[in-house]
Structures are given as C-alpha cells and as structure tokens.
Structure 1
C-alpha cells in the first residue's frame, strides 16, 4: 500500500531547548545567515507527507525566533528528560485543541542537514499497519565509525526490524582483525530520526528507564526492552548532528 492511500495524518515535531550543557543556545546559532532551528524547520517543511511542522520548546527566545520567521511553535514544560516526552506533551496539547494526528515524527533540532527524503522514508514505513515505531539506518563504511562509541550501531532482522542498538560494534566478528570488519560484514549506524503512531508515543513516554538503556544511554533500548518493535529503513543520506560549537566545522557545502 502507498502511504498516500492510508489516510493517516502526520505531524513533524522538532523538540528544541536552549539550555544545552555542551552548547547553550544551540538552536539559535547562525549558519550561513540562517539559524539552525530555521534550517531544520525549512528542511522538514519540504516533506509533502507532513500535515504540519511544529517546534516544541520551553524557551521564549526560541519561540519568538520561530514565530519571527513564520514557523509554528508550541510551548512545553522545561522539565522533560527527553525530546520524546516533549513531543508527547505537544501532541496532548494539540488533542486538547481538537487537532489530532495519527503519526508524529521526531525531527532532531540539531541536524541542519536533515533531508525531506529521509522524513518521507521513515513516514512511508507506516504503510504497513503493524509499524508502531520507525527510524532510519545507514551503512557504515569507515572503520573509525564502527569503533566510535558516539556512532550508534544497529542490527536488524531480515525484515528490517531492529534487534539491538549499541555503542559497541555489533555483531562481533571473531578471528578477523578490526580493520577488515567493514569488508567482511555490512554494519549499520542509526540515523536519529523517529516516527511513532501517536498512541504508541504516549504509551512509551510513560515507561520507566530500562537496564540496557541505562547502560548504553540509548532511549530506544527502553522501547525494545518493553516489547515495542522498531521498524527501520535504509537511507543513503548522511546527517550531521551538532552537539558542540566545534561540530559546526563539519558543515561543508551548506548554503
């Protein structure tokens, strides 16, 4: 089934906070004359499958900036431990105002190179009625990425359903030196965009932390631990996350 035949409505939500420990004010940093949050917003708005794009924030400076460039914003609590919880509150507020969406896409506010095609790929996974949570993965072709704990690895089954996420290289290849692993096996990295059926999102936002999540500091392990399947699709596009001011140097050929 083509997604356009499902009749499902989709909200693209960009959680954004000002008080980042490593990069305060990150959403408002200027990149070639445009703020990071505006870049993400405009990229997301290029996806025709989204019925609306919203910035969810707890900071008036971000809210004023978003409305200033014509974007839509909803104010949320400053006490959310994760973007997932911020999105869940946003959806509850929308429901209270009679605005319901079937699917919500969590679009990272610190990835200014996100592409509309990637959002479309993750939304299209909901053409399957069994999909509850969806995300993207990309082939790892560099040994340094495979062994970098900041690059999250994922193993899937033959249908693309995630089996495990880890900061360690998985699976482990026995009897081969590290430098040839990427030639001997196809490894995948996680691309940090999620989409959820909205009821599933409300359910998982109520779950307590799980032991694997605490060990790896990876929220998605909480969902797997509790039996929520995560469907993946492979993307050829790389995204660049900006966690520190130094990461801005990674952005090349951006206009």
Structure 2
C-alpha cells in the first residue's frame, strides 16, 4: 500500500494572509510543517501543493518536493485531487500547512484504519479531539463532529452538537481536526461531485462526503496541537518552538 502526504498551501489565507511564510525558529511555517511530516517516517513521499510562486521557491530552496497547481481551487481537497490524479498511490493524507507540530501518534492511528480495512469499506479517516470547555464547544471556528458507536462520522457542524438540552446527560463533544487520510478514489470523487446545501451552509468540506454516502472513520486523540490561524496562534507556536 503506497501512502503519501500532501500539504496544500495557499499564500492568501483569509484570516491571516501570508501565515505560511511567517518565521518559526528561523524557517517559514510551511517549511517546518513539511520537515515535521517527513520526520514521521510514515510516508513514501511528501509534497507541498501550491499555486504560490513564493511558497514554491521557499520549499524548493529548503529541499522540499512541490507540485504546482495548474487550476484555481476553492479548497485543499480539490487542490490535492488535481495533484494525485496521475500518481500511482493508494492513500493520500492531507496535512494542514499551518500544523508544524504534527502528531505522529495520531497519524499512525489514522493510517491503521486502512490497514485494518481489508474490504475497502472506509473511504476516508480523520481525527477528533475531546473538548472540555463550553467556550471551545460554542466557538464556530471549532468544527464539531458526532459519531456512531463504531466511530463513523454522522455529521459535522460549527454549532454545538449534540446540543445539551438536558444538562444532566453526560456527553463528550469532539472537535474535528482537519487532518484527513483518503483513498485515492474518494478524493477524486469529491472533486467531481457538486457542493450540496449542507456543505454550502456550514462551509465544511467533510460534509460533502457524508451527503454523497461516503464512510468517514474518526479516530480519537488527546493531542490538540497548535494550528496557526491567527497572529496570536503564531506567538504560541513560537514560544512552543523555543
């Protein structure tokens, strides 16, 4: 089974433009993420996928592999789909470019999903982290996921799910971390299928898979990590790096 990692990288991020080129311990965030992904030793190949000449030059200068997008894309999955179209692979992992503290243990659990799936019934796998505070649960920037008894995703939302109408019932709220592992066919199907109303309303691309009947296996981890979405996140990452 050939497994690769793809790191989709846009320069013009809406909330923090140019964040992937910000300095983290002497190198840009995107380079640190690439190097961290390589160091997991989980992948046959690792690529940064970008339409930015700035990012392409920086990653290449630091010895990284880059695939340049030839089309404009609205999301990372579409960018990856174009990149893997003609590659001979089985599984592709989408690693977020703003996650320089990548967690090998969690990734290992995600990849194990496919190694245990002899019938190829699972289309993709992803990560969920328990949330402990109501401020995190109600924050719309945190995508929530609910799962069935076998940890297959039932729905994703920016709203609190499940809603605690009965506060006496103990329930764990899970945050969805945007690390996905796809079978090649699943991600090619994604980019060929039109967006439907639920995904459009929530602005969560994982919902498209559910709307078209794909099976998403969620893996629980306690490792939160540091994603860099804001200048404040970058400050935390810089302190963590030191």
Give the structure-1-normalised TM-score: 0.88
Count of aligned residue pairs for this structure pair: 238
Please state how far the C-alpha of 1:78 moved relative to its aligned partner. 4.9
Unmatched tracts of structure 2, length 5 or more: none
1:181-196 matches, cutoff 5 A: 184-196=170-182
Matched, 1:83 2:76: yes
Structure 1: 4+ residue segments shifted above 3 A? none
Give the alignment's Cα RMSD to 1 decimal.
1.5
Please state how far the C-alpha of 1:47 moved relative to its aligned partner. 2.3
1:131-170 matches, cutoff 5 A: 131-170=122-161
Please state how far the C-alpha of 1:235 moved relative to its aligned partner. 1.1
Query: What secondary structure sits across from 1:202 in the alignment?
Result: helix
Unmatched tracts of structure 1, length 5 or more: 1-7
Matched, 1:253 2:226: no
Q: Deviations over 1:207-247 (max 9, x none)?
A: 11111111111111111011011111111211222223232
Query: What secondary structure sits across from 1:205 in the alignment?
Result: helix
Alignment correspondent of 2:186: 200
Matched, 1:124 2:115: no
Q: Is the 8 A contact 2:121 2:215 kept in 1?
A: no
In the aligned structure 2, how far is the partner of 1:55 from the partner of 1:175? 46
Alignment correspondent of 1:217: 203
Alignment correspondent of 1:39: 32
Query: What secondary structure sits across from 2:8 in the alignment?
Result: strand
Please state how far the C-alpha of 1:33 moved relative to its aligned partner. 1.3
Alignment correspondent of 1:110: 98
